[in-house]
Amino acid sequence: MEENEKSLLWNSSFSVGVQEIDEQHKKLVEILNELVYLVGKELKDEKQNIDVTVKKIIEYKTIHFATEEKYFKQFDFDGAEEHIQKHREFSQKTGELLADFGSTGEKIHLVELLDFMEIWFVDHMLNMDSKYKECFKQHGLK
Ligand SMILES: [Fe+2]
Ligand SMILES: [Fe+2]
């Protein structure tokens, strides 16, 4: 996949020290970059691919959130409530932006959706996911 100025690049500051979760984050970066690539193309030519990719992101984030939340419960993680709330906000906001794109079919809404997801995702990994690092480590995850 070609890179462009909107492509997300993985770097070690994103790591939460748990292989399973780092791999899920990398996979999400990869699918987001697929969308970056498609958004750079002619919308009418890529409509179907865009729909497939957006669906992949939504499905995969659901799996990913469920993984983190499973461990929160298992380890009785202190910050669970706040963190789960952030996941819910993401799902709600992306749902709204997706509905805007679905009803208008306008690229601007797709760009808005992509920008939101990219900014949210990086910020969330660095500022929220990093908070469970210590807890997960103490419970032997790696
Ligand atoms: Fe995460
Ligand atoms: Fe998270």
Distances (CA, A) of 129 to 77, 90, 113: 12, 14, 21
Q: Is residue 2 part of a domain?
A: no
Please report which ligand is nearest the Cα atom of 64: 1
Between the CA of 24 and the centroid of ligand 1 the distance, in Å, is: 8
Range of the domain at 66: 17-138
Q: Is residue 47 part of a domain?
A: yes
The per-residue pLDDT for range 23-65, each reduced to its tens digit, is: 999 999 999 999 999 999 999 999 999 999 999 999 999 999 9
* Average pLDDT over all residues of the chain: 96
Rounded to whole angstroms, the Cα distance separating 35 from 52 reads 10
Between the CA of 70 and the centroid of ligand 1 the distance, in Å, is: 12
Q: Who's near 48: CB < 8 A, 6+ residues apart? A: none
The per-residue pLDDT for range 84-131, each reduced to its tens digit, is: 999 999 999 999 999 999 999 999 999 999 999 999 999 999 999 999
CB atoms near residue 113 (< 10 Å): 21
Q: Is residue 4 part of a domain?
A: no
Between the CA of 29 and the centroid of ligand 1 the distance, in Å, is: 11
Between the CA of 82 and the centroid of ligand 2 the distance, in Å, is: 10
CATH number at residue 68: 1.20.120.50
Q: Please give the tally of structural domains in the chain.
A: 1
The per-residue pLDDT for range 57-78, each reduced to its tens digit, is: 999 999 999 999 999 999 999 9
Q: Is residue 51 part of a domain?
A: yes
